[in-house]
A and B are shown apart, each in its own frame.
Chain A
């Protein structure tokens, strides 16, 4: 109480003595703040525009009719709207119709579930259980994260071509090996054993998260008679929802857009990402142009038609991602904060 009383008169004194200079100070401060605000607003708008520009610039291309492409008079609004590009894109990029997209989404979702399940388990063990060799395993996770996956591509490819786990396959097949290339099992196996898309990163994130869960929770569960598995599934997993959703979103996005594993280990799997990269290869330009010409009876199909169809295909490809992103984006920031990666 006394302190407060002492402070108050002092403040008044300052105000009374330097009224003019205070006004100047306040004015300076405010105008400075205003300038900074305007400046950062301009920067933010500029950045937003830069990020959206590639997508925005597609709109006139994708929605204009094929004949009109390359018309120098058209910049943003096409003279004649048309959905030919989209139709062509759907026909080319989704050979099985909607099923192609459904399959890609289901594949990404399935791998996501596997990745989350097994990464969480490994992450939990690394964070909370002092099993022999824990530090070594943790170091291995980091090493796997650091080494780019493609450095081992050749050996992995050969390994899957002549798949044989420690000679067990002798029992099942005559050749003593099975060919797993172009078999989705290879992709599932990679995810189960912690080597899917960026999975070592996920394991790392999980272990960082579980490290921060208070020990008392575990002890209380033990006193209440929960075993190891019950503690994990009833206590730990419900508490780990933030990190599960973060990893889930990232895993879905990366698996849906993955071309590396699908291209090399299951090229005929019919995933949309693979189809896009192979169909819309520059080498296929003529073929696509001819296809558009024949299908839609358009006499003149230029190079730009190839681009238009390609861009339409990207837009279609992005739809599931956009949905997931719109739902999950807000959570993503909140969750990362609780993920234990920071601080």
Chain B
């Protein structure tokens, strides 16, 4: 009797304390996420002006802001809005697989046993600090166009390799040039792969060595081992890495500046909010697609 009476309050107490611990986030969610979200949606259906007393005035305009956004408004580079979104999504489509595969590749290399591994790892994770937005901007946005400064130094553009591929192997320009572009800007790719490489390396290290031993005993080649042991072991973490990459890429996008410019330099808060709402749906659609596709792959590999 005494025991149960003591136990029950403890559990209740624990629950209350848990709620207290979680409360900063819950309050923050309501104040800094939910309210802004509701407001954004609300603003996007209104024309917003400045009231006589300094407050904001609202005038319901329905979906006019959305129509304006795509029909008449332009970006700060005076390009149509739809183009901004297509560009963003195509980069996403190309960059995400590249970054994920690349970071896995780097992690595989860093996971090998060789002398001086500590130094190599030190360098491999440098992108965590070199990949910060400011640093990348300051390193790559060179105005003087001196060759030694450029990270993509134009090494390949006029080189023999390009000429060889174009003239002798007849690789079509349309395919070759984008690829060359990516090879040249490999630093951009690396700079975005820091955290992903770290996550992959830890995932690789946590695979039990006995699995590899078994594979070796059974006479599996390195190729087979990679596909049958390594990949299934890291497929769960791959989902995380892909989602992280998508989110990270969306963070760098120019939408924030566009929305800010709409709202505070052009004084069209409604249109800016409409842009934000469209953007939210865009992100959710991409993530939904990723999860749908990857969910199937994960399930398949888990069995």
Contact = CB atoms under 8 A, between A and B. Distances in A.
Interface stretch (A11-19, A42-50, A80-88, A292-300): A42-50
Contact of A124 (B21, B24, B244): B21
Contacts of A122: 21-22, 24-25
Given A53-B151, A122-B21, A321 B123 contact: no
Given A55-B130, A122-B25, A149-B251, A159 B35 contact: yes
Given A152-B36, A155-B35, A310-B138, A51 B126 contact: yes
Contacts of A124: 21
A43 B27 CA distance: 49
Interface residues of B, number: 94
A282 B145 CA distance: 13
Contacts of A149: 251
Contacts of A285: 143
Given A148-B251, A302-B144, A329-B122, A280 B138 contact: yes
A79 interface: no
B287 to A, nearest CB: 6
B22 to A, nearest CB: 4
B109 A44 contact: yes
A140 interface: yes
Interface stretch (B66-74, B162-170, B276-284): B276-284
Interface of A: 36-37, 40-41, 43-44, 47-48, 50-55, 57-58, 60-61, 69-70, 75, 118, 121-122, 124-126, 128-132, 134, 137, 140-141, 144-159, 165, 190, 192-195, 201, 203, 222, 228-229, 232, 250, 253-254, 257, 259-260, 264, 273, 276-277, 280, 282, 285, 302-304, 306-307, 310-311, 313-314, 317-318, 321-322, 325-326, 329-330, 332-333, 336-337, 339, 341-343
Interface of B: 10, 13-19, 21-22, 24-29, 31-33, 35-37, 39-40, 43, 56, 106, 109, 112, 114, 118, 120-130, 132-135, 137-144, 146, 148-149, 151, 186-187, 190, 195, 198-199, 201-203, 205-206, 222, 237, 240, 243-244, 247, 250-251, 253, 255-256, 259-260, 263-264, 269, 272-273, 276-277, 279-280, 283-284, 287
8 smallest A-B Cβ distances: which pairs? A193-B28, A129-B18, A150-B256, A257-B132, A155-B36, A125-B21, A131-B18, A194-B25
Contacts of B255: 148, 150-151
A342 B272 contact: no
A273 B32 contact: no
